[in-house]
Structure 1
């Protein structure tokens, strides 16, 4: 199944100051989350951002906040975003079944959200190069669990080019620049 732009929404999970600082390969993860955020905004794809216990873990990192003007950021205590009713309601309100996930941590909040979103009827895609864990082996185990659960593991570039669909797309020029 290809990711369809008109059926897509993006959920950025817990890319917060104190969490991001502890992640393996955090710079690449933040950069790719930013690319997805920019691509979504340019293409009119709805975006939701979750923040795990922000009073203790800080807000979404500055590079993403700068690109997220007007994007809903919702606090949560649950690891799975699907278990948080305001986040779940925000996702449902978009009525878009292709749910692209990225963020922190691959083996905890991203994994639990992906598996529960899949059970909730979403077609779930995890942009793995925009997803991190503190330890690389935790991320690798998460990949295995995600694929076993029927979640599609993709890259940022795959998402963007599937959204574009064709060099004739009105989004081609703006979105392809984000990948270069």
Structure 2
């Protein structure tokens, strides 16, 4: 499968969480409206919702991502960075959502500020792709070896976090972790 056949939403407003969800699912499932509805369910009594930007432009937090995945019978498993990515049982992982530092820019001017940004990584047609919504298109990472290298490099940054997107039963039985590899 070519990169042209890989579903990839591009960045709009502060909707990277929605783009990461849709990119990891490989279809447009979630919208700003569905994410806002999730926010309201998570904090029904709040005038200013703590799960999104006060300006209403997005910037959704991890709780919205987790609730969205649960609505699709999926789960988000927080990755403990003290573990090696070699201990991942990749055939049990549907995809990855990473939270990374990102430069802030106004048009073509890059500001000396950093914000948080959600991006997705997913296997499609035998290759893993970086589906960051800030990229012009999907970027092929390669096979399992290249994926583990990519994830290791991303996680080496102090502030990067990773969620494994797995089926609920995989989350419950913990089979996303290769226990033999984890013991090494």
Q: Which has the higher helix share?
A: 1
Structure with more of its chain in strand, by fraction: 2
Same fold by TM (over 0.5)?
Answer: no
Larger Rg: 2
TM superposition score normalised by structure 1: 0.30
